[in-house]
């Protein structure tokens, strides 16, 4: 039997920056072949990360731009990855957006119906499509051990002010993950999600001027210097216990590394909090 290091393939969506990039780098360091996905406009960033992976880890890596909210894009991506790299063993449905962060009473001004739909389409439908087509491919491969992992949030565990669309989308990920775990378990596939809290990044701070396609995810927008500059940031800041700090993208990548491993086979249907103690399940 070929070793896990030589045979397993991981597809990471939303991999152009932040948590997605950290996950891709970590899984490459674990010895997996890596497929990188993000929207078309971030193709150059994906190519740069691909070169970094090749130079740092010698891993086989491919880039597959596409929109996870478009069914044809996801279907084609999974099919192409499987043919190009030989299989699909780990799907990390990381791609997500926060949209404009505003109170429900101000959504008419800052969050249009189209923007609301965009958040749900990317964060919930996108995860659903990635789960669906990854599982179909894993079942077709005829071997157990598939790992499907999605991105939820602390906002998917407990509602937060000014995040109605985002919170709804991340609660949905938890439900989809549980249903998929029940349905895919018979094929030896586990399905789990991670729920980050405030994760440090070089992105800008929270604010109502954000548009859905401008920023990847609420977790990517936290900065230690200005976390409390907005209502959402204040909610994050006030929820952190005195001993805690902002997390690092590598913290999330480490959890995903374990969930993607063969050793995690007895864990399924879970949305695991990784938030420095800001919220207890």
Query: Is residue 31 exposed (0-12), middle (13-18) or buried (19+ Cβ within 10 Å)?
Result: middle
Give the span between the Cα atoms of 37 and 209, in whole angstroms: 26
- Spot the catalytic one: 110, 131, 133, 166: 166
- Residue 125 tokens, joined: 């439908």
Report CA-CA distances (Å) from 110 to 48, 64, 123, 165: 34, 32, 19, 12
**Distance in angstroms (rounded) separating the CA atoms of residues 145 and 7:** 12
Distance in angstroms (rounded) separating the CA atoms of residues 152 and 252: 12
R_g of the chain, CA atoms, integer Å: 18
Catalytic residue among 21, 157, 170, 194: 170
CB–CB of 116/107 below 8 Å?
A: yes
Tokens at residue 176, please?
């989809």
Closest CA to 59 of 27, 87, 16: 27
Q: Is 195 exposed, middle or buried (0-12, 13-18, 19+ CB in 10 A)?
A: buried
Verify whether residue 170 is a known catalytic residue.
yes
DSSP string computed for 173-215: HHHHHHHHHHHHGGGT-EEEEEEE--BB-SSPPP-TT--TTT-
Residues catalogued as catalytic? 166, 170
């Amino acid at each position: 039997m070929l070793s896990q290091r030589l045979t397993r393939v991981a597809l990471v969506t939303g991999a152009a920056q932040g948590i997605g990039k950290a996950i891709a780098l970590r899984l490459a360091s674990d010895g997996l072949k890596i497929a990188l996905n993000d929207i078309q406009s971030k193709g150059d960033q994906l190519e740069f990360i691909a070169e970094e992976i090749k130079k740092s880890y010698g891993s086989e890596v491919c880039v597959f731009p596409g929109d996870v909210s478009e069914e044809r894009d996801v279907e084609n991506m999974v099919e192409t990855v499987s043919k190009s790299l030989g299989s699909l063993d780990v799907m990390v449905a990381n791609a997500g957006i926060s949209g404009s962060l505003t109170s429900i009473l101000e959504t008419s001004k800052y969050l249009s119906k189209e923007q609301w739909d965009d958040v749900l389409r990317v964060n919930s439908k996108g995860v659903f499509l990635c789960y669906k087509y990854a599982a179909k491919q894993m079942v077709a491969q005829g071997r157990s051990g598939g790992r499907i992992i999605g991105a939820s949030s602390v906002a998917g565990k407990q509602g937060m002010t000014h995040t109605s669309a985002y919170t709804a989308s991340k609660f949905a990920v938890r439900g989809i993950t549980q249903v998929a775990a029940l349905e895919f378990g018979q094929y030896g596939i586990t399905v789990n999600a991670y729920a980050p809290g405030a994760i440090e990044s070089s992105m800008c701070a929270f604010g109502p001027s954000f548009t859905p396609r401008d920023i990847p995810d609420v977790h990517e927008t936290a900065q230690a210097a200005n976390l409390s500059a907005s209502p959402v940031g204040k909610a994050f800041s006030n929820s952190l216990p005195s001993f805690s700090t902002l997390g690092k993208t590598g913290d999330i990548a480490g959890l995903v590394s374990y969930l993607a491993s063969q050793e995690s086979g007895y864990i399924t249907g879970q949305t695991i909090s990784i938030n420095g103690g800001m919220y207890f399940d």
